[in-house]
Structure 1
Amino acid sequence: MKSNDKLAIHELLNKAAYGYDSRNVDMLVDCFAEGAVMSMSITDGDLIGPFEGQNEIMKLMTGAMEGQMDTRLHNISNIFFEKEADEAATVLSSLTLTAVENGSIRLLTTGIYRDEVVKVGGSWKISKRHLDLELPF
């Protein structure tokens, strides 16, 4: 895998976080492949999902956004490639989720993303995402 592909994948993961935080659904949709699948678990609990396809993933995310009265910031860090090829990769990254409300900032949760990304029409997209959260948010 070329270094410019790795940089593009780093940007993809950060773009997905920014798209959610800024509630820019068009930006967020653009980060996922059409047939993407997403799931999560909280505190080693039962599997939530899978949510299949962009529409179902966006329903999950926009539904969560509707109930949030604070300002969220998904900080993505410790990105590394577990598997890599020219057109696909498995990427792990850490999440630190903070919120600002009523003039104060607080840590909501931390977690690990396991993303499978693929090259679609020259652009990298998330094809499969699983999030393990340490605490409910």
Structure 2
Amino acid sequence: MPVRPHIENLLGKASWGYDEADPDLIASCFTEDARMSLRIGRDGDLVGPFEGRAAIRALHADSMAAQTDQRRHNLSNLWFEKESDDEAVAVTNLTLLSIENGAIRVLSSGWYRDQLVHRDGTWLIADRYVYLDLPY
């Protein structure tokens, strides 16, 4: 069975959850024991890892609570470093837009490297590394 459509759906769902300020939807995309870390710029410090679904949910909820704009995550150029029936490593480019006060601007670009697992008939993110080219 092709893996790609399921992973595209999962990554789109996680982005939609953030854009629609739904931390529960985002959290549902991660395994219970998932990890997530973030780096801004080549020389930036590593932020995280945030360990466990609850910590990842809290990170997103706190970030959303501080925002006054509408975010839109645009994913592109999905490719696989590894792909099997029950595991995959996917790399995706990110363009992050902000809509506020009638204006659209690019907040940052970057990429995700997601380690994904197929458990109980569902694909989930087990480890997410986020790299942003610029702070926003």
Equivalent position of 1:130 in the other structure: 129
Q: Is the 8 A contact 2:95 2:108 kept in 1?
A: yes
Q: How many residues in Structure 1 have an aligned counterpart in Structure 2?
A: 135
* Distance (Å, rounded) in 1 between the aligned partners of 2:29 and 2:55: 14
Matches within 5 A, 1:36-47: 36-44=34-42, 45-47=44-46
CA distance in 1: counterparts of 2:19 and 2:54, whole angstroms: 18
**Letter of the 1:11 counterpart:** N
| Letter aligned with residue 28 of structure 1 | I
| Structure 1: stretches of 5+ with no match in the other structure | none
Match in the other structure for 1:14? 12
C-alpha separation between the residues in 1 aligned to 2:125 and 2:17? 14
Off by >6 Å, runs of 4+ in structure 1: none
C-alpha displacement of 1:52: 0.2
Query: 3-state SS of the aligned residue for 2:17?
Result: helix
Superposition TM-score, scaled by structure 1 size:
0.96
Is 1:72 aligned to 2:78, yes or no?
Answer: no
**Alpha-carbon shift at residue 115 of structure 1 (Å):** 0.2
Query: Cα offset for 1:25?
Result: 2.1
- By how many angstroms is 1:68 displaced? 0.5
2:67 is paired with a residue whose SS is coil
Give the aligned residue type for 1:16. A
Answer whether contact 2:24 2:57 (CA < 8 A) is retained. Answer: no
Map residues 1-137 of structure 1 onto 2, 5 A cutoff.
2-3=1-2, 5-44=3-42, 45-137=44-136
Query: Structure 2 stretches of 5 or more lacking a match?
Result: none
Deviation (angstroms), 1:120: 1.3
TM-score, normalised via structure 2 length? 0.97
Q: Deviations over 1:1-43 (max 9, x none)?
A: x32x210101100100001110122211110111000001001
Which AA in structure 2 matches 1:26?
A: D
RMSD: 0.8
In 2, the alpha carbon distance for the partners of 1:124 and 1:16 equals 12
Distance 2:45 2:22 in 1: 29
3-state SS of paired residue (1:114):
strand
